[in-house]
Amino acid sequence: MPNTTLEERLQELKRQRNAVILAHNYQRGEVQDAADYTGDSLGLSQQAAATDADVILFCGVHFMAETAAILCPDKTVLIPDPCAGCPMANMITARELLEAKAKHPDAVVVTYVNSTAEIKALSDLCCTSANAVKVVASIPAGRQVLFVPDQSLGGYAARQLGRELILWPGYCPTHHRIRAKDVLELKAQHPDAAFICHPECTTDVVDLADVVASTSGMIKWCKDADAATIIVGTEIGLLHGLRKDSPAKTFLPVSDLADCPNMKLNTIEKMVWALEDMQFPVTVPPAVAAAARHSIDRMLELA
């Protein structure tokens, strides 16, 4: 079929394999456009849990595909590029978490979904950026909370709830490239613009925001907002979905450097190869998956 485009070949393979394509909001524009569902970490987990496809082609980073594998043990979960990891997820090891738990034996461990299955398996509750505040709020006020691995999201939840949390010092290298001084400069140039950001940003950036939300939360807020110009404090892949959903609005990224190199490793070519060769499967050992699932299910019940 010499004239078949990569997109057409992908759709053909999708039908042959009975596959569903899930893509995170930070993926390349063409990857998002080829997906059946594009969303934030919470939405993607819910889609994975609900699908009746045999194969999930997960275009995101490794922990997201791993979460899908935990939720769907009877399905084949593929990631187009096995090197697409999340540096924040690697900022805490199982040994470090066990040491922290021994130091704070009474603490409830709340783990951001941007973590390995092993870390989730050692946790009481999981959360995403969309529900971190709600998840922490569900823990009785008198109980200590150990929040891992993102100090920025944990700090945001703590400030929202007026509650002290024990924070693990992990962070997102991409979101920490977004600086308050650049936000202030853009706000001065566009005084009527709104400013939105992701809770993985540093506190000084979050303090400047009109709204702090998950990636899908930001897309929804912008669609409903009155502001004609919106300054965006998150990974630049979100601009694709923002511009697609709100074509009449102007979106200004705070920094073009806020580009997650891992998210961008997945391409249309690699998606085609993944479905042709059934590469690269993401699996979790059953005992780890069962323990991790408990913390994810507790989060999904709250969501």
User: By C-beta, is 174 or 214 nearer to ligand SF4?
Assistant: 174
Q: Quick check: 25 binds ligand 13P (CB under 6 A)? A: yes
Please report how close the Cβ of residue 261 comes to ligand SF4 at its closest, in angstroms.
Answer: 8
Nearer to ligand 13P, 161 or 303 (CB): 303
Please choose which of ligand SF4, ligand 13P, none residue 296 contacts, taking the beta carbon within 5 to 8 angstroms, the exact cut-off set by kind: none
Among ligand SF4, ligand 13P, none, the one that 91 touches (CB under a kind-dependent 5 to 8 A) is: none
Does position 200 interact with ligand 13P (CB under 6 A)? The reply is: yes
Taking the least distance from each CB to ligand SF4, the nearer of 167 and 172 is 172
18: alpha, beta or left, given left = phi > 0 and alpha = psi -120 to 50?
Answer: left
* Residue 204-243 contact track with ligand 13P, rule CB under 6 A, x = bound: ----------xx-------------------x--------
Q: In the window 101-130, what residues touch ligand 13P (CB under 6 A)?
A: 114, 128-129
From residue 301, alpha-carbon distances to 46, 56, 77, 134, 295 in Å are 11, 23, 23, 11, 10
Give CB contacts under 8 A, 24+ apart, made by 67-72: 67/41, 67/113, 67/117, 67/296, 68/22, 68/44, 68/282, 69/282, 69/283, 69/284, 69/289, 70/117, 70/120, 70/284, 70/289, 70/292, 70/293, 70/296, 71/45, 71/293, 71/296, 72/48
- Classified as helix, coil or strand, 224 is helix
Least separation in angstroms between CB 300 and ligand 13P: 14
Under the rule (CB under 6 A), what is the footprint of ligand 13P? 25, 40-41, 114, 128-129, 172, 198, 200, 214-215, 235
